[in-house]
Amino acid sequence: MRRALLLAFLLTGCSQEHERIAPQSQIAPGDIQSGYEFLQPETQALQDDEFANPGFLWVDKGRALFNQDPDSGAPACASCHGDDSHPFSKAAAHYPAVDASSGQLVNLEARINLCRARYQDLAPLEYESDGLLGLTAYLAYLAQGEPISVKTDGPAKKYYDAGEDYFFQRKGQFNLACSQCHNEHWGDKLRGDTISQGHGNAFPAYRMEWQTFGSLHRRLRDCDSGIRAEPLESGSETYTAVELYLAKRAEGLPMESPGVRR
């Protein structure tokens, strides 16, 4: 009965205009919980086991690429980041961030591709490619346990505001906003699943539904598809702005990648 009532409530949005929901139902800081807390014990155990967690296949691939000399003759990533001059071991917990040179907001994937172009004379890796997922997973893994903390003031503020707008904007044929599920109904049941708070601290992650590893932007695309909205391109400025908003919203949660999700 509770699931039926929740579905009925959510679908009432179908007949309304695509207005922005006032951000009045924020999650209290003391109530913030990782998606890990909403998993079945068996799935939690899978994430915790480095031998069984399938995400470590991508971590291992990323570690190899990080230490590999590229064919361009440029130095390997490890040759620049092997000392204290360019620290990176906890960096993943502090992205997205504004790139000082371009003034644009970049996430970890975009930072990796910027480094490839600027310092290794290499083409960018495609989103969801094993190479980019691997490098991102490796850097995120090195930051495991580091509390998420991002800058949202100064040049980052316009991106943060855009990400917040997207989170509270009704969209798609179901006319739903992200906030309706992840702020107002977290902990409720929907189609046999428990609705999480929608934090990104476990990504990139292995999703049972995908039967493979994927980025946070892939998850955002899935969410938009689920409400019958047109998904944006992975790596788009809008999704990166949403990623910044979600990171600030999850501030203090520890990095978990490679996570395992349903």
- Catalytic site residue from 77, 178, 181, 223: 223
Return the pLDDT at 71: 86
Q: Is the pLDDT of residue 5 over 80?
A: no
pLDDT of residue 110: 98
Per-residue pLDDT tens for 15-69? 455 677 666 578 988 999 999 999 999 999 999 999 999 999 999 999 999 999 9
Percentage with pLDDT > 90 across the chain: 79
Task: Specify the fold of 56-81+91-142.
Answer: Cytochrome Bc1 Complex; Chain D, domain 2 (1.10.760)
At 3, the pLDDT band (50, 70, 90 cuts) reads: very low
Joined tokens for residue 225:
């598809």
Indicate whether this model's pTM tops 0.75.
yes
Does 223 participate in catalysis according to the annotation? yes
Average of per-residue pLDDT across 175-195: 92
Mean pLDDT on 95-114: 97
How does 209-228 read in b/e, with b if 16+ C-beta sit within 10 Å?
eeebbbbbbbbbbebbeebe
Alpha carbon separation from 262 to 47, 194, 196, 219 (Å, rounded): 11, 10, 11, 11
pLDDT value at residue 190: 85
Same fold, 31-49+148-261 and 56-81+91-142: yes
Q: Where are the beta strands (DSSP E) in 29-112?
A: 97-98, 105-106
Is the pLDDT assigned to residue 262 strictly greater than 60? yes
Q: In this model, does residue 207 exceed pLDDT 90?
A: yes
CATH number of 31-49+148-261: 1.10.760.10
pLDDT in tens, 107-159: 999 999 999 999 999 999 999 999 999 999 999 999 999 999 999 999 999 99
Contact 126, 132 (CB under 8 A): yes
Task: Look at the chain and count its residues.
Answer: 262
Q: How many helices (H) and strands (E) does the chain have?
A: 10, 7
Q: What tens digit of pLDDT does each residue of 150-160 get?
A: 999 999 999 99
Asked whether residue 84 carries a pLDDT value surpassing 70, the answer given is no
Q: 258 with 204: CB under 8 angstroms? A: yes
- DSSP conformational letter for 212: E
Q: Which sequence spans correspond to the domains of the chain?
A: 31-49+148-261, 56-81+91-142
Neighbour tally for 5: CB within 10 Å: 10
